[in-house]
Amino acid sequence: MLDDLKLINNRDPEDALGIASSEWKQLEFLEELEQDNFEPKNIVYSGMGGSALAAQLALTWPGFNIPFEISRNYELPEYVGSESLVILSSYSGNTEETLSSLVDAEKRGAHIYVICHGGELLEIAKSKKYPVVVVPESKQPRYSVFYQLMAIVSILEALSMLDREETAKQLHKAKEFIKEETAKLISTIPTENNPAKKLAHDVLGKTVVIYSGPKLAPAAYKWKISFNENAKQLAWCNSFPEFSHNEFIGWTEQPVIKPYCIIDLRSNLDNEQIQKRFEITDRLLSGKRPKAISVEILGENYLEKILYAVLLGDFVTIYAAILSNVNPVNVDLIEKLKVELKK
């Protein structure tokens, strides 16, 4: 079915596959911000849903040498103050939790930066002269995660928290790698040679559970979101070693026949003990849960691996949506929820 290009075009009317095929180009985006001598003691990134994804990726690359926290709430953590850098991210610019957090950041005298595409957040940033990175247009926030990662890079460069030359070198190499790997996942590559299409068939009609080690945990979370929003399939994620201390037991006493598909995102980034936990877990839970599908994440370094993991998840979940005959782009019920909240 996934080798029928006419069927794909009919079931993907807004060209989600085309968006995924061009994601590597987002890594060329960089905003030149005015240099800032502020030296934060901590960073809080306020965002929800797809607008918070890039912050999770940034924990792996480029990483932070000061405390960094992602806030998914109406208020900021209690410790935020005048020595805090607060980055407020909302693709639409109208996310109510993020707008509320902006008011909170202002009250506390925090140093404020904004990432958005438009909306009320952009209007406020312009009127109050907050530094702002305006990300290019995308069908949905989850499809702009590389843009938003580059927005974070732009802010860190403005604050002299990154080595510009080294960062540019790593990004260029990663972009070329992602471009090359994208060509192996597009719709014209037949299922027998296309790992994303193969995996989409494996997950069809099942609740998907994605596991990873700590380094790939942000990518596992992105897979969860993409299964939820692209494929409209229930999914959850967890990471080792935390899984071994609680969720591991949750698999042991339920009926053997379970409508689940287990995906392990694996890489050599993982600690040796994490690698052992994957193997031992699959052995001890044999017959109690489906055997895990092990997905080896490609790349030579943290950046390449985390970007590839995100890319692969996008293709898998879009193909899964096409198999289920659902529109990969639309999230109408979320929009209805937002309308109801405003009443």
Domain 36-159 has CATH 3.40.50.10490: yes
How is residue 186 written in tokens?
């597009």
What's the CA gap between 172 and 24, in Å, rounded? 10
To the nearest 10°, report the CA torsion of 85, 88, 89, 92.
-160
Q: Do domains 36-159 and 188-324 have the same CATH topology?
A: yes
Query: How confident is the model at residue 232, as a pLDDT?
Result: 95
- 254, pLDDT greater than 70: no
- Tens of pLDDT, residue by residue over 13-56, are 999 999 999 999 999 999 999 999 999 999 999 999 878 989 99
Query: Does the pLDDT of residue 90 top 90, yes or no?
Result: yes
CATH architecture of structural domain 188-324: 3-Layer(aba) Sandwich (3.40)
Where are the domains positioned within the chain?
A: 36-159, 188-324
Report yes or no: 286 and 254 within 8 Å, Cβ to Cβ.
no
**Angle between helix 119-128 and 96-108 (nearest 10):** 20
- Residue 91 CB partners (closer than 8 Å, separation 6+): 50, 51, 116, 117, 135, 138, 141, 144, 148
Contact 57, 149 (CB under 8 A): yes
- pTM for this predicted structure: 0.92
| pLDDT reading at 334 higher than 80 | no
Lowest mean pLDDT among 34-38, 250-254, 317-321: 250-254
Mean pLDDT computed over 295-304 = 95
Band of residue 258 on the pLDDT scale cut at 50, 70, 90: low
